[in-house]
Every structure is written in C-alpha cells, then in structure tokens.
Amino acid sequence: MGVAGTVGAAALIAAAAVFLTTTDGDGSTSSHATSHDRPDRFLSLLAPGASLQTLASGFSWAEGPVYSAPLQSLLLSDVKRNTIHRLDVAFNKLTLFRNNSGCYNNPTRCKELIEPGSNGLAFDPQSGRLVACQHGERAVAFLGDAPDGSDDKVIARKYNSRRLNSPNDLAFAPNGDLYFTDPSYGLNGKESDAEREQTRNNVYFVPAKELRGILHGQQPAHPRRVTLPARHSRPNGIALDMSSEDQGRIFLSNSNSSDCFWTVCNLNRGKTTDCREFSHARNMLLLGSCDGLKVDVPNDVVWATAPGGVHALERQTGNRIGILGTGVKTGNIAIGQRDDTRVLFIAADSHIKAIDLAN
C-alpha cells in the first residue's frame, strides 16, 4: 500500500478532448484526456485548476468508498483482500480499518472466494453506524468493533428464506430506509455458482424501523424486493435523489458488459413507478462497466463509473456531459470534503484518485 502514488499514463478517450492537469507523485504534471459532449459545462463542474490526483495505491480491487466528515477520512473496501482501509484526507495517511470485512464465519471458504470482502459502505443517517455489503457472508450488516465480526449486527441475509447472492452496493434515504443491490459477483461462479439460491439479481428495501429493531437485538430483517424492469438483469451501483424524507428517485446501474446502462425510477418507500432508461454506455470500446454512481445536487449531475472512467450525466435528462478518464477499470465513487472544497473520490482499480469539484 502507498499514498500519493504516481498517476498512470493519461487515459486516451476516443473523442474530442478537454485536457485536465494531472498531478503525479513526483510533483510533476501531465495532460489527462477527458472526452466531452459539452466541454464548458464539464469544466464548470470542477474547481478552477482542478487536477486528478492519486491519493493511494496498492489495493487489489478498491471499492465502496464512503466519506466520513467526523473522521475527515475516506473509508474503502479492498474486496479481494477482505479488508477496509481508512484514508485520512487531511494528512493523506492510509491505515487498516478492519480485517475480515466481508467474510469470517467460514475461514476456508473465505480463502477460496475471489472476492470475499466488503463492497459498498455507507453510514446509517439515524445511528451513525457504518453499514457494509458483505460478499463472503452474503449479508448486509452494521459493522462492530470486533475483528472477527462477532459483534456485527446482520441487517439482511435472506429473501424468501433463501440466501442472498452477494450484496454489492447500498444507499440510505434521509429517513433511514435502506436500499441495496444483490448481484452475484461475490460468488466465484456468479449466476452459475452451485451455492446460488436466488433465481435473479435483485434490489431490496429495508424500512428504517426494522433497522432500529436490529440495533436493539431483533433478528435480521425480511427485505422487500424492489420492482425493476426485467431487462435490468445485473443491478450494481445505486444512488438516491430524494425530494423528501422517503420519496424521490432511485438510480441503478446495470453492469452487464453487453448491456451497460442506468435505470431511473420514481420511488416511494420501496415502491417504484415510471422506470425508464436514464442513460447508457453501450458499444464503448473502453475499460470498465457501469458500476457505482452518486448524485451531485450542487452541480445538478449524476457521476457514474462506466467504460473509460467516470461519466458526468445531467441529473434530469441523463445526457452525457463528459467523461473523466482514469485509464483503468473504475469501480465506485464518493463525494466528500477536503479543507473547504468538495471532492470526488474515485476507487479506480488498485488506486484511490480524487479531483476537486466546484462548490
């Protein structure tokens, strides 16, 4: 593991390009190509003079970043190494936050899995507790302090009495309702794995009231399935755009490599209506797939990882504004703070990258 590593070669995106300045580990700068449809609009999303920086490197597959304002830190999963790390963004210091982040009850199985660790991370807005999607445990859980997972509190591990696939990403509504995706990427054989019990990859909803009960000793919840169009076969990244405590819109990525797109639906306490394709990244001969996404209200955009890096999509229409090229497969993103500046943190393969956003 290392911090302030060198950014790799500039990602060349096949399109007209806006060139951003990239800060390398040795303090030098290089041009970093970013494709665009509306270059002026794209540059307006970023802080003046923004540079794409590599903050840390050496992960096996970085995923699920979440920013903690009280800690002034980014927490992130290394899915293949079954760990969570903490990156202090003020001092650029990287430390191990937890071992056995997503698999611990069966050590032999944990070693056999390709991706045993935690994936998506989020903070419950009511309790402040850290919640993780756990591939190896095939569960979503409040994380405790014990390194062996003995004081984790499981939120969900089954649907209709059958084990979940491998929970991947999650999002909380302001009132504490939880939504999470459950593709099969944590199973070595994915959809054909012998351990798979669900017949499809679903999205689930757990009401805030049930989460409170779990924290007070109740049994894991019985999650409700969120209805999606049938062609949305591999729900992965998830983000909410809420107009009230429990109503708004839900965005979901479809990470099927042959059909990479995003769906948006109206949302009301776990019930979806008016689902439609929001945007797509089909037929792009670039590294990556549709994965994590976040809503950036001040900029009125949705940032979404996809082939080529991080796509900026108009929040209302889904029109692509531009692509921030990372040069590598890119898993997920988080929006946080560094000093007085908003920052887009990017989990990009073995790296954590960052770029300052317009305030």
Cβ neighbours, 10 Å, residue 202: 20
pLDDT in tens, 98-153: 999 999 999 999 999 999 999 999 999 999 999 999 999 999 999 998 878 889 99
Confidence (pLDDT) at 19? 34
Confidence (pLDDT) at 266? 98
As a whole number of angstroms, the distance between CA 253 and CA 335 comes to 18
Please tell me the pTM assigned to this model. 0.92
Cβ neighbours, 10 Å, residue 50: 21
Stretches where the chain sits below pLDDT 50 are: 5-33
The per-type count for the chain, helices as H runs and strands as E runs, is: 3, 29
At 202, give phi and psi (nearest 5°).
-115, 170
Dihedral of the alpha carbons of 284, 289, 293, 296, in degrees to the nearest 10 = -20
Q: Where are the alpha helices (DSSP H) in the chain?
A: 39-44, 107-112, 208-215
> Is residue 36 within 8 Å of residue 17, measured between CB atoms?
yes
